[in-house]
Amino acid sequence: MAGTRVPLSGKALTTPRAAAFAGIIFALLYGTSLVLVRLAVPEELAADGAWLAANSRRISVALNLVPYSGIAFLWFIGVLRDRLGELEDRFFATVFLGSGLLFLGMIFVGAALAGGMLLSYEMRPDVMLASPTYTYGRAVMYLVLNTYAVRMSAVFMISLGTIWLRTGSMHRGWVYVTYALALALLVVTGRTLWVGLIFPIWVLGVSILILVFVFRRKSERPTPNPAG
């Protein structure tokens, strides 16, 4: 009949168990990408462009890993928010989510800058290296990846650590480890490009702890009695 409302039935969405592996996937992909880039790109900003010719394939592989690591990081954020549930503090949750998305956007921008330089070199190598665009593009890429993205990852860790501390949803020892590593990311500056590896290693540790909790909770569930 017209005007009759049909009740909608359904069940609540639940986080798939496979999502718990998202942080491990991110850590492996992004960590591998960072290692490849760090081995290929000299730390000195004033270095010539010989590294582009010698390591173009390695850099290309590293850049192709970035989008997939970004997708895994989004799932990792989803897993963290699902674990917090109703305990999530709105203020710190906003900082936590915002810093995570900013970090993700910056690594995409940095990867796009690196990819643009690589493509420009492949098309016009002599013109590219002699152009001020090369110097400018590399300086911007360095600042985006090694300064701003690293700082945002530190804010992400601090805000999440604070949420854990206030809600008691994570062991206090790991919270203090999180604060210490985040402080290192905030303080350690200069030409140390390897400092960015702290973040994926930390994500790997968090993901392993989440998996341990998930499987432990699964093993502790009471077995139904068939005679019931």
Q: Pick the more confident residue, 14 or 20.
A: 20
Residue 7 lies in a domain: no
**18-62, pLDDT tens digit by residue?**
667 889 999 999 999 988 888 877 666 655 566 777 777 888 899
Query: Cα 194 from chain centroid?
Result: 15
Residue 99 lies in a domain: yes
Residue 3 lies in a domain: no
Residue 5 lies in a domain: no
- pLDDT at residue 194 in the model: 78
Q: Pick the more confident residue, 190 or 81.
A: 81
How many separate domains does the chain show? Answer: 1
- pLDDT at residue 219 in the model: 61
When pLDDT is cut at 50, 70 and 90, the band that residue 16 belongs to is low
Alpha helix (H) residue ranges in the chain:
22-40, 50-54, 56-84, 90-123, 125-130, 132-143, 149-167, 172-187, 198-219
Q: Return d(Cα 145, Cα 151) in angstroms, integer.
A: 9
Residue 6 lies in a domain: no
pTM equals: 0.81
Q: Return d(Cα 124, Cα 224) in angstroms, integer.
A: 69
**66-119, pLDDT tens digit by residue?**
999 999 999 999 888 877 776 666 777 788 899 999 999 999 999 998 888 888
Domain range enclosing 107:
18-215
Residue 2 lies in a domain: no
Q: Could you report how far apart the first and last alpha carbons of the chain are, in Å?
A: 44
- Give DSSP secondary structure letters for 105-143: HHHHHHHHHHHHHHHHHHH-HHHHHHSHHHHHHHHHHHH
User: Is the Cβ–Cβ distance between 60 and 223 less than 8 Å?
Assistant: no
Backbone angles phi, psi at 221, to 5 degrees: -70, 140
Which of 20, 5, 44 lies closest to 139 in space, CA to CA?
A: 44
Residue 220 lies in a domain: no
Residue 106 lies in a domain: yes
